[in-house]
Structure 1
């Protein structure tokens, strides 16, 4: 089983070749807040695509004027369009549309805040670009939205996935690996909560740089492995994962701060997001084990020399990409 993991190298190289950016999570965000009986403030945030707003647009129900916002302006992270819409009828029971979303891979998160009543959190996807505002929102809509957000974040966040991949290559015992992943989740849940409630504030750029450094550390551990010797990071991987998980949690906090949390449902949203992250990590690990089992029948072809080369290639591939991210992030300090 151990040797078979190195057959993942071609899969990893294809994976790394498509990882142009460490974070793919960049959903749109639509905040609609009621000001008076008939007026609503709309804040429409569109992801940036090569210096231009993504080709999507938010459209309110036809009884609202204007149903679309003005041309967006850039805040260097995304594109914002803000306006006040006059709606003759309530928004509940009427459709809101995100045009062009069906041609994208991103989702759009909607937060609707009426004057009287609980905020509603909904999620547009390429498959569901039109949603009808429910008349009786529940906490389960918040939970479902943020669970999916956490699940997709870990599966689309290249640096977090690379950390899990390196851990998979490093740790031999499956149950020890699952324990390490769970320790990682517990740790990032702590710092994510502290950052969300304003107890802990750390600049995003240094956090992202240290996350890349944590992957470099695991790459070095892979390269230093020797048969018959168990390194501390293999024997007690949950310690390493817990420490680095505290840092990764701050990275998750940066992602959540970009799209916001429902003010009255913050605990539910955080719990759902963390459960989604854990589910995403375990799904990724399960997929890696499936690849290993498929390649297990070919392990007899792996001589000690081939195994050594494959291990070195895997470690250096992980380390080089993580080092590139580290240099890129450190060089952006102060920009």
Structure 2
């Protein structure tokens, strides 16, 4: 084959090297050149150094892959964040009502996040190990459907008090999507076990980081009257995005709405900053309206 190449050289690249931390999504790494010695008409040997890799490098790469996966997974984060929108509120007569208190709000938040984590961790393990498989199209459709359900619930309470169970149930579906990333790596049992742990740890770390960023403004705004419109608008946005994703995943063709959703996701940090500023402004405004304590 080298005789047919004009330069008599072939660049050799590695697409995946778990021990060196090169996994899914990383560009191929060039490891050397196979070259023909024209004078002596022989192929020069190619030496590849395999000593640089380690188990820890591969493990940390899987943590980073999990962080990257959830950071770029707009649908996964949208499901969880929209499900958390009404978490601080009490439900009464088919409507969302007043703020339930700090302890009530934090308890529900922890229950929902923990349930979602347990759900996706279970199917990530079983799916990556090859014990449970579903068609990817069905999984992606169910993920979009889960967002639609959480969006409707954000507008009107569909299952008040049962959010943790819903998070766990749909978490099972989201975990199957996570598992597809690891299954495609085709690792041996030992490396797969470490990869499942590292990948899941990365997902959970990024998930907790994003949720933590929303705690402040959700806690402050949920006491204010402006939280109602924010919650409804968030639910409507998520519902439209879910319907657009369902259409795209059902017919296999992208549409204008999904493109707009992906573009809108790039402005998420600015939206978070705006909500935080609005929350602080609302808090100090409400505080300034309180009557001053009577002086003795």
Task: Report the TM-score, using the length of structure 1 for normalisation.
Answer: 0.56
User: Alpha-carbon deviation of 1:248?
Assistant: 0.5
Alignment coverage as a number of residue pairs: 215
Aligned partners of 2:177 and 2:171: how far apart in 1?
10
- 263, 269, 273: which is aligned to 2:199? 273
- 19, 42, 67: which is aligned to 1:151? 67
- 28, 31, 39: which is aligned to 1:60? 31
Map of 2:230 onto structure 1: 310
Map of 1:210 onto structure 2: 142
User: Alpha-carbon deviation of 1:286?
Assistant: 0.8
Aligned partners of 2:108 and 2:229: how far apart in 1?
26
- 243, 248, 252: which is aligned to 1:328? 248
Map of 2:180 onto structure 1: 254
Query: Judging changes above 3 Å, is the alpha-carbon distance between structure 1 residues 157 and 210 closer, same or farther for their aligned structure 2 residues?
Result: same
Map of 1:164 onto structure 2: 80
User: Alpha-carbon deviation of 1:46?
Assistant: 9.1
Q: Which runs of 5+ in 2 are unaligned?
A: 1-13, 36-42, 89-104, 254-296
Query: Judging changes above 3 Å, is the alpha-carbon distance between structure 1 residues 283 and 59 closer, same or farther for their aligned structure 2 residues?
Result: same
- 110, 119, 126: which is aligned to 1:187? 119
User: Alpha-carbon deviation of 1:58?
Assistant: 3.1
Map of 1:30 onto structure 2: 15
Map of 2:11 onto structure 1: none
1:93-108 equivalence runs, <5 A: none
Query: Judging changes above 3 Å, is the alpha-carbon distance between structure 1 residues 45 and 140 closer, same or farther for their aligned structure 2 residues?
Result: closer
Which has the larger share of helix?
2
Aligned partners of 2:23 and 2:61: how far apart in 1?
18
SS of match in other structure, 1:60 = strand
Query: Judging changes above 3 Å, is the alpha-carbon distance between structure 1 residues 46 and 272 closer, same or farther for their aligned structure 2 residues?
Result: closer
User: Alpha-carbon deviation of 1:259?
Assistant: 4.2
Deviation string 1:12-45 (CA, Å, 9 cap, x unpaired) is xxxxxxxxxxxxxxxxx81369xxxxxxxxxx99
Map of 2:265 onto structure 1: none
Query: Judging changes above 3 Å, is the alpha-carbon distance between structure 1 residues 46 and 150 closer, same or farther for their aligned structure 2 residues?
Result: closer
1:123-134 equivalence runs, <5 A: 133-134=52-53
Task: Report the TM-score, using the length of structure 2 for normalisation.
Answer: 0.63
